[in-house]
């Protein structure tokens, strides 16, 4: 017998959300159009190569179909939480896009060819309320991301591939119906993934645990990343007028990525990277942080190229860098304390205890990591890792050595680590956190890894 919560979908609540979102969509979209139309000069941003984009009248069908997917997306949700998440994503998409339309309106500048028949009628209906002003970010593309994530969550096999194909057509249609210039597409993708990132599933929303950082090092790093974001933004603006042309505008992606990293260090903490229990970052985080993540992965491999293999510390516990695909065969479990890199080949018994890079963990974080090690130690070879295996993971192993009685003091724990891996980096803040941890009673759970006399 099916439980009532599983048998009943929140269709009534979905209808109420649609009654709110539908009129809001057309009212706010129309208002932004009217404000732009009242301006004397609305600029346009188009590249010369866009004139080679063909006009395909038939793509007005997938273009229009997004309205159908919009409504249905609320009714496919299985429970109230999923429904409210979807509705809030749609609402955020509207707020973000319309705010952009009002702050910096753009105009579509090409002349659309005439069309007749059913396709021509669909264009006539569209032009009845649409004007060539609401451009970047393309609200169609923003909604495409939000809707694709929702339906992909419910479909599998051939149906999922059909979804991918149709949504690809929707994405292409914003250009082939002569509704948008190219700049509207990547800005729409950025805004769409931002909506999904703000309202995630399976993990807590990044803003729920937001608190101003107390560690001065976090503020220093936030300032550095924000400076990097500003530099990328300046380069995007300055170089786009030179030889690089429109290609330089892609620098806005690392600018946005680094700005979000700065936000994590200043306010959100490791939660902002949205690393799930399965060891992977959320798909929204992987897209938004992609330039930073690529640099972080390359950095991890460059720094460890001379010592890529993990080292044994004590009683089956190993210390090393985060493993890539095929690099963890010997280990029955992994305790991963990296916040920014996904764990490849993750297994059910792995533990994820994310910590920010280049920042000393708090005693609470070290306690949680030591507990995770203690619970898994003794079942086979266990790898404790972070991006490099030099600092965060080393502090976690030191915490386990102290809590399990394998080291009588912080100095002894650090000495054990340095004998196995001389490159370990544990500075004064790490040592203070370990001292604070050693001064508190160990929870009963740590007894699972306690060394016996």
- What residues are labeled active site? 386
Running DSSP on this structure, what letter comes out for residue 450? P
Token pair listed for 263? 């936000």
CB 129 within 8 A of CB 30: yes
**Burial class, 269, CB count within 10 angstroms (exposed 0-12 / middle 13-18 / buried 19+):** buried
**Distance from C-alpha of 319 to C-alpha of 336, rounded to nearest angstrom:** 10
Token pair listed for 326? 């095929």
Which is it for strands 382-386 and 333-338: parallel, antiparallel or unpaired? parallel
Running DSSP on this structure, what letter comes out for residue 380? S
Backbone CA torsion sign across 298, 303, 307, 313: negative
Long-range contacts, stretch 225-230, CB < 8 angstroms, 24+ apart: 225/258, 225/259, 225/261, 225/262, 225/265, 226/258, 226/259, 226/262, 228/254, 228/258, 229/254, 229/255, 229/256, 229/257, 229/258, 229/259, 229/262, 230/255
**Distance from C-alpha of 412 to C-alpha of 406, rounded to nearest angstrom:** 9
């Amino acid at each position: 017998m099916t439980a009532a919560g599983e048998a009943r979908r929140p269709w009534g609540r979905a209808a109420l959300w649609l009654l709110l979102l539908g009129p809001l969509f057309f009212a706010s979209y129309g208002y932004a159009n009217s404000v732009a139309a009242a301006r004397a000069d609305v600029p346009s941003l188009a590249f010369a190569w866009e004139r080679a984009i063909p006009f395909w009248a038939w793509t007005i069908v997938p273009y229009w179909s997004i309205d159908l997917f919009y409504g249905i997306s609320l009714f496919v949700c299985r429970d109230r939480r999923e429904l409210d998440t979807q509705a809030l994503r749609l609402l955020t998409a509207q707020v973000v896009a319309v705010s952009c339309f009002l702050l910096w309106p753009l105009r579509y500048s090409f002349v659309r060819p005439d069309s007749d028949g059913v396709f021509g009628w669909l264009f006539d209906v569209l032009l009845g309320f649409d004007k060539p002003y609401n451009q970047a970010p393309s609200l169609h593309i923003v909604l495409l991301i939000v809707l694709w994530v929702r339906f992909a969550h419910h479909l599998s096999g051939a149906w999922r591939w059909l979804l991918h194909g149709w949504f690809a057509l929707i994405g292409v249609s914003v250009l082939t119906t002569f509704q948008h210039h190219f700049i509207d597409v990547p800005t729409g993708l950025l805004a769409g993934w931002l909506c999904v990132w703000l309202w995630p599933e399976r993990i807590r929303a990044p803003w729920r645990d937001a608190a101003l950082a107390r560690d001065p090092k976090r503020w220093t790093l936030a300032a550095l990343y924000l400076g990097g974001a500003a530099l990328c933004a300046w380069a995007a603006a300055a170089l786009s007028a030179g030889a690089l042309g429109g290609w330089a505008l892609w620098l806005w992606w690392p600018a946005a990525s680094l700005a979000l990293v700065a936000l994590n260090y200043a306010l959100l903490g490791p939660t902002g990277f949205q690393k799930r229990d399965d060891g992977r970052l959320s798909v929204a985080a992987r897209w938004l942080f992609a330039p930073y993540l690529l640099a972080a992965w390359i950095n991890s491999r460059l720094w460890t190229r001379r010592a890529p293999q993990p080292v044994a510390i004590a009683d089956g516990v190993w210390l090393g860098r985060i493993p890539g695909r095929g690099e963890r065969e010997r280990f029955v479990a992994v305790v991963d304390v990296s916040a920014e890199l996904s764990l490849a080949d993750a297994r059910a018994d792995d533990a994820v205890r994310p910590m920010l890079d280049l920042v000393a963990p708090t005693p609470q974080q070290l306690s949680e990591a030591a507990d995770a090690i203690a619970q898994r130690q003794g079942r086979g070879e266990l790898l404790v890792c972070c991006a490099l295996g030099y600092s965060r993971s080393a502090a976690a192993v030191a915490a386990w050595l102290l809590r399990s009685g394998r080291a009588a003091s912080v100095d002894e724990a650090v000495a054990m680590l340095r004998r196995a891996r001389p490159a370990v980096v544990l500075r004064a803040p790490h040592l203070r956190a370990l001292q604070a941890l050693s001064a508190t009673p160990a929870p009963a759970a740590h007894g699972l890894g306690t060394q016996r006399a």
